[in-house]
A and B are shown apart, each in its own frame.
Chain A
Amino acid sequence: MMAIVVVQTAVIAVLAVLVAGLLHGYAGVLRRLHQLDGGPEAAGAGAGDGVEVGYGAEGVGGSVAPFRTSAGVAPPAVRSIERRDEWSAGHDIRGVTPAGEIVHVSVAGVEHDTVVAFLSAGCAGCEGFWDELARPGSRPAPPGSRLVVVTKGPQDESPGALADLAAPGVDVVMSSEAWSDYTVPGSPFVVVVDGRTGRVRGEGSGGSFSQVVALLAQANGDGRLAAVTRPAVRKPAADREREADVDRVLGAAGILPGHPSLYAGAGGADGPVPARPSVSTGRDGR
């Protein structure tokens, strides 16, 4: 009888240790997920028992985003963006829309990157860009970034022509000042501004957004930019099945990809005009 009690006690003790270990591990996973999720307490998690490392990414106001490792884990080497100081400065965009709206667009000191497309209503090379913007379902800017089309001011461009050319929902700002600020050599010209640093990460020209953004992604090795031209994440099977179900129901109702009802207010368009692109990567070599 005594032996059974002893064995039982030992088993319970072992199970208690296992449960405590599991709970501890689970708490660690949750804490790490919360940190990855950018929770407000993320920066303070583990304070006092880890090593803080500046990751080279200045936040708004010049603060350095903290990166911590647990006690006993060697911190990674501090990584900085090579020659970032040489990147030219981005500028907020001030102007008016073709409808007469007075606009101030913030591109520096913000959470998102901004793709600034300098276009003109009359330039032949801009046709591919306007076409791509008008294409139903088109998403020329990378995920998490914002697209702003900037033309010259009302003294140099016709607001009426731009209103006819720009698809609904496309943010068009008329600003000769922005052309001067970014030293734009001519249209079409695309500049990508890093929102957190307020610096120009890349700039170039081509026949369409897809071309320019893909080239900038290659030049920068930037996954966020590259995501515009390829699927970013493999979807879970349940999501794929759900989408397939939706596609099947829509297809049965005669609503297929490209159907006008899927894109309220957008019209059809031809593909982009192929052209030989050129690109530079955020240096002051304009």
Chain B
Amino acid sequence: MTTTPAQADLLQGWGISARLRPSWEGRLFLRDSPQADYSSPAARAAAPGSPQGGGQGWAGERTTPVLHLGNFPLPAGRGDFGTGAMERMSARHAFVALLVFGPEEVGTALFSPVGMPRPRPVDFSPNALQQRLAGLLGYQSFFTLEGRPMCLYAVLGSASHLGPLSAEVNAVIDGIGVS
């Protein structure tokens, strides 16, 4: 994995790239395909005693890439929405996740907005957190970019640094590319 200086701060894979700002780090991953225990998502949901939220896959299920960026150490084990990392955030930390969804979501109402969103300070709220943690503010937006349905999820460490952290997150978002 040889990199030139221009590539040194670039995280790239699966059609997603992110140029890292100073002190930010990133991780880009694709989960392993789960074992196909069901014929379809509907079959899994209908199965008695099936786990809410999955854990067992269905035939033909494909996983999609997830990008995590943070200005703090991102731990090895994290959930797609940053569980495991958010608990380690302090007041001056920020976390950004870009999650790609499957092609079956293209054209649905949820993903109807087009283009990468730009969160304003007023858009961050504890109610937008996937997992509510004291002091943290969240933002999430579903959209479609380059024909790929996505979710942008951002978390700020504290309302007392809302302005600077929001600007930092937007600068990070500016460095994300999708192809």
Determine if chain A interacts with chain B: yes
B28 interfacial contact with A, CB 8 Å: yes
Main DSSP-derived SS at the B contact region: loop
- The complex places the Cα of A146 from the Cα of B75 at a distance, in Å, of 9
B80 interfacial contact with A, CB 8 Å: no
Using CB atoms and an 8 Å cutoff, list the residues of chain B in contact with chain A.
1-3, 8-9, 11-13, 20, 22-30, 32, 72-73, 75-77
**Size range of the chain A interface in the assembly:** 20 to 34
Tell whether, in the assembled complex, residue A169 and residue B24 are in contact, meaning their CB atoms are under 8 Å apart. no
Tell whether, in the assembled complex, residue B75 and residue A169 are in contact, meaning their CB atoms are under 8 Å apart. yes
Closest residue of chain B to A91 (Cβ to Cβ) is: B8
Tell whether, in the assembled complex, residue B1 and residue A171 are in contact, meaning their CB atoms are under 8 Å apart. no
Which of B22, B26, B75, B76 has the most chain A CB atoms inside 10 A of its CB?
Answer: B76
Q: How far is the CB of A41 from chain B (nearest CB, A)?
A: 12
A15 interfacial contact with B, CB 8 Å: no
Tell whether, in the assembled complex, residue A169 and residue B76 are in contact, meaning their CB atoms are under 8 Å apart. yes
A211 interfacial contact with B, CB 8 Å: no
- The complex places the Cα of A142 from the Cα of B160 at a distance, in Å, of 29
Return chain B residues, CB-CB under 8 Å to A60. 22-23
Q: How far is the CB of A84 from chain B (nearest CB, A)?
A: 20
Closest residue of chain B to A61 (Cβ to Cβ) is: B22
Return chain A residues, CB-CB under 8 Å to B25. 92, 103-106
Closest residue of chain A to B70 (Cβ to Cβ) is: A106
- The complex places the Cα of A93 from the Cα of B24 at a distance, in Å, of 12
Q: How far is the CB of B59 from chain A (nearest CB, A)?
A: 23
Which residues of chain A from 153 to 178 have a CB within 8 Å of any chain B CB?
A: 153, 168-172, 175-177
Contact residue among B3, B24, B28, B75 (Cβ-Cβ distance under 8 Å from A177) = B3
- The complex places the Cα of A221 from the Cα of B8 at a distance, in Å, of 34
